[in-house]
Amino acid sequence: MKILVIGSGAREHALVQKFLSEPGVDRVVAAPGNAGMSAQVTTVDVNVADSEAIADLAEQGEFDLVVVGPELPLVNGAADAVRARGIACFGPSAAAARLEGSKTFAKEVMAAAQVPTASAVTCTSVEEVGEALGRFGAPYVVKDDGLAGGKGVVVTDDRVEAECHARECLAKGSDVVVEEYLAGPEVSLFVITDGSAAVPFLAAQDHKRVGDGDSGPNTGGMGSYTPLVWAPSDLVADIMEQVARPTIAEMARRGTPFVGVLYCGLALTAEGLRVVEFNARFGDPEIQAVLRLLDSPLAPLLQAAASGQLADQPDPVWSQDAAVCVVIAAEGYPGAVANGDRIFGLDEAERIPGATVIHAGTARADNQIVTSGGRILSVTARGNDLSAARERAYRAVTAVKVRGSHHRNDIAEAASDGSITVPQ
């Protein structure tokens, strides 16, 4: 099988690494890729916002399968353009990717499918925002309705900060979604689907805030782990029944079947599970940890999903180990960052048993690996439990040196020491 992976982040590097380990995969090309991917596979430059350019690449390279990593090309219709050339594509159509591209649309689908989620109001003016904030009370949850690269959501007790964020979203032309605050641990579940059959991966948890103890602003994600040792044993079955299957059925009923991965982001509240968000692609950094525990091949599963044959696939096989992923971010992230800082210690990090370095914002300059983004790379480690995986991941993190970089020190800590509880 020849696979073209679209994207340039850690998610895509993790996918590339997994495909490379599989006997049925003959060739992997990444576009545009990053310095980590280019050391392992051919990379080709492409503007991921240009769906026809992606389809041209897929056609010229005679690929059997295109896997679109990020949300932007999906929302723009990259999967439609690829499929129009008769090539299998893992990723939803533009119409189905609206589940991620518009929070208001996602709420409509959830209401129709009776999927539990936070109550919410879509606002188009400062006055409406003010009224909604008053109605829901603190903590305030204010969201940009559209795509915002993981930075569109503000959760705060400070009403002025909530109003400020709403004003910024409205000023750039977005609607604003104000919603009820959900208290409880968060879970990410990736559900592979061909529009009808659905296969869950292992549930994982992301750490979204920039600082230890969940302090500071939200980011694209600072680290992740799996399995969720603290979660009820029927969690995945419950999410499939209450969330994933009804949503997939509702999308099919509308004539816009969802093909690809439905990322269910949930909070486990005292009232039961509630959807925080849907995404139309794998979550980064959760997928880095999850793929470390996937012992069966990924490519046939994604190909079957892309071609309507998921029901015929054997279930994925998961290791009983644990995996922890720690993101190393550039100085200033999630704000503006400087690029071009040299990255040291990558080989030392890779030598830690069970640890792997996955690149995100990296580039090659003068034959050195340098930074080129906010999240620079992630270190993922596997161990026989979370504590062993943490120890290896942090040994590898310590080996990597980048001027001014930062990371969280508490990824998977609460899960590993048993201090996460699900509200009853």
Binding mask 220-259 toward ligand AMP (x if CB under 6 A, else -) reads: ----------------------------------------
Using CB under 6 A, pick the residue from 283, 297, 334, 354 that binds ligand GLY: 283
Which of the residues 398 through 417 are near ligand AMP (CB under 6 A)? none
Using CB under 6 A, pick the residue from 145, 277, 286, 341 that binds ligand AMP: 277
Is 189 strand, coil or helix?
strand
Using CB under 6 A, pick the residue from 155, 166, 251, 360 that binds ligand AMP: 155
Instruction: List all residues 6 or more positions away from 358 whose beta carbon is below 8 Å from its beta carbon.
Output: 10, 13, 14, 17, 36, 288, 325, 377, 378, 379, 380
Binding mask 128-147 toward ligand AMP (x if CB under 6 A, else -) reads: -------------x-x----
φ, ψ for residue 248, nearest 5 deg:
-65, -40
Q: How far is the CB of 360 from ligand AMP (least distance, A)?
A: 18
Using CB under 6 A, pick the residue from 179, 286, 321, 413 that binds ligand AMP: 179
Whichever of 73 and 334 has its CB closer to ligand AMP, that residue is: 334
Work out the angle at residue 190's Cα, subtended by the Cα atoms of residues 187 and 196, and round it to the nearest 5 degrees: 130
Percent of the chain as helix, strand, coil, to the nearest 5: 35, 30, 40
Using CB under 6 A, pick the residue from 91, 221, 227, 297 that binds ligand GLY: 221
Q: Cα-Cα-Cα-Cα dihedral of 281, 283, 288, 290, to 10°? A: -90
With contacts defined by CB under 6 A, name the span among 18-26, 278-286, 317-325, 378-386 that binds ligand GLY: 278-286
179 in Cβ contact with 137 (< 8 Å): no
> Which letter does DSSP use for residue 138 in this model?
S
Residue 288's closest CA among 219, 335, 222, 192?
A: 222
Does 286 help bind ligand GLY (rule: CB under 6 A)? yes
Using CB under 6 A, pick the residue from 206, 250, 321, 413 that binds ligand GLY: 206
Taking residue 342's Cβ as centre, other Cβ atoms within 10 Å add up to: 13
Instruction: List all residues 6 or more positions away from 122 whose beta carbon is below 8 Å from its beta carbon.
Output: 103, 104, 107, 145, 175, 176, 177
Instruction: Output the six-digit token pair for 113.
Output: 């499918």
With contacts defined by CB under 6 A, name the span among 77-85, 176-184, 256-264, 306-314 that binds ligand AMP: 176-184
| β-strands 88-90, 65-68 pairing | parallel
Q: Which residues pair with 362 in a beta bridge?
A: 371
Is 249 strand, coil or helix?
helix
Whichever of 11 and 208 has its CB closer to ligand AMP, that residue is: 208
Does 12 help bind ligand GLY (rule: CB under 6 A)? no
Does 178 help bind ligand AMP (rule: CB under 6 A)? no
Whichever of 83 and 208 has its CB closer to ligand GLY, that residue is: 208
Q: How far is the CB of 41 from ligand GLY (least distance, A)?
A: 23
What single letter denotes the amino acid at residue 224? S
Taking residue 184's Cβ as centre, other Cβ atoms within 10 Å add up to: 19
Residue 34's closest CA among 279, 354, 343, 389?
A: 343
φ, ψ for residue 282, nearest 5 deg:
-65, 150
Residue 90's closest CA among 6, 176, 181?
A: 6
Does 284 help bind ligand GLY (rule: CB under 6 A)? yes
With contacts defined by CB under 6 A, name the span among 161-169, 174-182, 345-353, 356-364 that binds ligand AMP: 174-182
Taking residue 3's Cβ as centre, other Cβ atoms within 10 Å add up to: 28
- Residue 186's binding partner among ligand AMP, ligand GLY, none (Cβ under 5 to 8 angstroms by kind) is ligand AMP
Instruction: List all residues 6 or more positions away from 255 whose beta carbon is below 8 Å from its beta carbon.
Output: none
Whichever of 24 and 134 has its CB closer to ligand AMP, that residue is: 134
How many residues bind ligand AMP, per CB under 6 A? 15
Which of the residues 128 through 167 are near ligand GLY (CB under 6 A)? 150
Alpha-helix residue ranges (DSSP H) falling in 187-234: none
Using CB under 6 A, pick the residue from 218, 256, 356, 372 that binds ligand AMP: 218
Does 174 help bind ligand AMP (rule: CB under 6 A)? no
- Residue 250's binding partner among ligand AMP, ligand GLY, none (Cβ under 5 to 8 angstroms by kind) is none
> Which letter does DSSP use for residue 315 in this model?
P
Q: How far is the CB of 156 from ligand AMP (least distance, A)?
A: 10
How many residues bind ligand GLY, per CB under 6 A? 7
Site residues (vs ligand AMP, CB under 6 A): 118, 141, 143, 153, 155, 179-182, 186, 208, 218, 265, 276-277
Q: Applying CB under 6 A, which residues contact ligand GLY?
A: 150, 206, 221, 279, 283-284, 286
